[in-house]
């Protein structure tokens, strides 16, 4: 097989990628520097950006997104790591634990959000009913109707759902650690805690890295959860950047402004990813 044939063979996939991925990306960038109207697209310089930086709704959405990412991702990482350690233990029922880990993550987020919306319901929801019957509270808790409780409720759903995703990724890393290392450490008289710190964590670091990158990106772009759980309310305390961009595009038909939001979101995420890659080094044998 010569080079020409090779190029010829990847051409279809390449063309499809260009059209469905790169085309819209370029169009988004074009739109964010222009004003879109029925008459056509007109270049408008940085006006969309100056409007964005003076828009309190944008800053609110930005703040909500940062808080959401900043709280959920570390907790998910911690819980995911614990779950992975449990699932990695050679014991009975290990396969059941792994399946149980998969379920929350495999359910579609939108359905999850709707199910949780029912459970959180103040007037006839599952949680209030349990808490009242156990005499833990005497008046129902307004899970989704108070600030900042609505945001906390939303974070709980995210943590429940994606800790298991983190666990699965970290578990794959744990599986690659040779057991001889632990045996050698045991002979040298290392405690479990020392083994965890000196062997497990350094060796599992690449998987942690990957799961952090994936999850931060996902959490930063979270849309289905706020959209279906709270609709961004009460007021706009749970409106994330993605919901803000969506509303501007689909509800207010402000295509240029919405593209600007998406572009800024992309740049922020890119920045985050670079910081990650810099601070959590890929190579484990430093």
Partner 1 sequence: MALRKFFGLVLVVLFGVVALSGVSVEIGISPREIGAVMDEHISNFEAQNPDIQIEWLKVPGVPGQQHSQYVTLFFGGSDKPDIIAMDIIWPGEFASRGWLAPLNEYFPEEEHAEFIENMIDAAKYEGDVYGVPLYINGLHLYYRKDLLKKYGFTPPNTWEELVEQASYIVEQEKDPNLYGYISMWGKIEGLFMNYLQFFWGKGGEFFDEEGNVVVNSKEGVEALQFMVDMIYEYNLAPESIVTYTPDDARILFQQGRAVFMVVQDFVWPILTASDSIVADKVDFMRVPYFEGYPDTNTVCLGGWLLGININSQHKEEAWKFIEYLTSHEAQLRTAAVTGNLPTRQSVYEDSRLVEQFPVANKQYKDFMVGNVRPSAQLGEKYTQVSEIMQREIQSALLRLKTPQRALDDAVSQINALLR
The rounded radius of gyration (Å) of the Cα atoms in the chain is: 23
Kindly state the smallest distance separating residue 5's Cβ from partner 1, in Å: 35
Kindly state the smallest distance separating residue 123's Cβ from partner 1, in Å: 6
Residue appearing with tokens 């995210």: 158
Binding site for partner 1 (CB under 8 A): 38, 121-124, 140, 142, 144-147, 230-236, 246-247, 249-255
Residue among 165 and 255 whose Cβ is closer to partner 1: 255
Beta strands per DSSP E along 8-165: 34-37, 40-43
Kindly state the smallest distance separating residue 235's Cβ from partner 1, in Å: 5
For 91, phi and psi rounded to 5 degrees?
A: -155, 175
Residue among 144 and 174 whose Cβ is closer to partner 1: 144
Kindly state the smallest distance separating residue 51's Cβ from partner 1, in Å: 10
Query: Do the beta carbons of residue 180 and residue 256 sit within 8 Å?
Result: no
Token digits for 98? 């792994």
Residue among 72 and 247 whose Cβ is closer to partner 1: 247
Q: Identify the bridge partners of residue 36 per DSSP, sorted by sequence position.
A: 41
Residue among 65 and 207 whose Cβ is closer to partner 1: 65
Among 161, 162, 177, 175, which Cα is nearest to 211's? 162
Residue appearing with tokens 């632990």: 182
The whole-angstrom separation of Cα 271 and Cα 169 is: 23
Residue among 207 and 259 whose Cβ is closer to partner 1: 259
């Amino acid at each position: 097989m010569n080079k020409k044939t090779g190029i010829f063979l990847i051409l279809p996939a390449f063309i499809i990628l260009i059209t469905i991925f790169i085309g819209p990306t370029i169009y988004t960038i074009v739109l964010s520097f222009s004003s879109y109207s029925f008459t056509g697209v007109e270049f408008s310089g940085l006006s969309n950006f100056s409007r964005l930086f003076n828009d309190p709704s944008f800053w609110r959405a930005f703040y909500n997104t940062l808080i959401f990412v900043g709280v959920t991702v570390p907790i998910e990482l911690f819980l995911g790591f614990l779950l992975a350690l449990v699932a990695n233990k050679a014991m009975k029922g290990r396969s059941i634990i792994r399946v149980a880990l998969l379920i929350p993550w495999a359910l579609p987020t939108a359905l999850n959000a709707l199910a949780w919306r029912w459970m959180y319901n103040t007037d006839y929801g599952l949680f209030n009913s349990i808490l009242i019957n156990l005499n833990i509270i005497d008046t129902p808790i307004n899970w989704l109707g108070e600030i900042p409780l609505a945001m906390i409720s939303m974070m709980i759903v995210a943590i429940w759902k994606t800790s298991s995703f983190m666990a699965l990724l970290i578990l794959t890393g744990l599986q690659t650690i040779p057991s001889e290392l632990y045996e050698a450490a045991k002979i040298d008289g290392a405690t479990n805690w020392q083994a965890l710190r000196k062997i497990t964590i350094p060796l599992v670091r690449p998987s942690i890295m990957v799961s952090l990158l994936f999850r931060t990106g996902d959490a930063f772009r979270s849309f289905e959860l706020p959209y279906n759980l709270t609709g961004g309310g009460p007021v706009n305390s749970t409106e994330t950047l993605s919901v803000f961009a969506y509303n501007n595009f689909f509800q207010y038909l402000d295509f240029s402004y919405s593209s600007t939001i998406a572009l800024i979101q992309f740049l922020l995420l890119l920045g985050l990813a670079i910081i990650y890659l810099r601070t959590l080094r890929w190579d484990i044998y430093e």
